[in-house]
Amino acid sequence: MSQNNSYTLTVSCKDQSGLIAEITGCIAKTGGNILNLAQHTATDIGMFFCRISFADAETTPSFSENLFKQNFEKTAEKYNLNWHIFNNSVKKRVAVLVSKTSHCLYEILLKHADGALDCEIPVIISNHPDLAHIATSFHVPFYQVDPGKGKEAYEKDLNQILKDYKIDLVTLARYMQVLSGDFCREWHNKVINIHHGFLPAFQGAKPYHQAWKKGVKIIGATGHIATEDLDQGPIIFQDVIRVNDTQSIEQFVNLGKDVERRVFVEAIRRYLAHAVFFHDGRTFVIE
**Contact between 93 and a copy of itself (CB under 8 A)?**
no
**Contact between 41 and a copy of itself (CB under 8 A)?**
yes
Residue number with CB closer to a copy of itself (77 or 245): 245
Q: Which of residues 49-68 bind a copy of itself (CB under 8 A)?
A: 50, 57, 59
Q: Which of residues 236-265 bind a copy of itself (CB under 8 A)?
A: 236-240, 244-246, 248-249, 254, 257-258, 262
Check 130, 157, 168, 231 and give the catalytic one. Answer: 231
229 is catalytic: no
**Contact between 34 and a copy of itself (CB under 8 A)?**
yes
**Contact between 46 and a copy of itself (CB under 8 A)?**
no
**Contact between 77 and a copy of itself (CB under 8 A)?**
no
Nearest distance in Å: CB 56, a copy of itself: 10
**Contact between 116 and a copy of itself (CB under 8 A)?**
yes
**Contact between 19 and a copy of itself (CB under 8 A)?**
yes
Question: CA 72, 39, 75: angle at the middle one, nearest 5?
Answer: 15
For 281, list phi and psi in degrees, rounded to 5.
80, 5
Count of residues engaged in binding a copy of itself, rule: CB under 8 A: 70
**Contact between 140 and a copy of itself (CB under 8 A)?**
no
**Contact between 42 and a copy of itself (CB under 8 A)?**
yes
Provide the binding-site residues for a copy of itself, judged by CB under 8 A: 15, 17-22, 24-25, 27-29, 33-44, 50, 57, 59, 102-103, 106, 110, 114-116, 137, 198-202, 212-218, 220, 234-240, 244-246, 248-249, 254, 257-258, 262, 281-286
Active site residues: 231
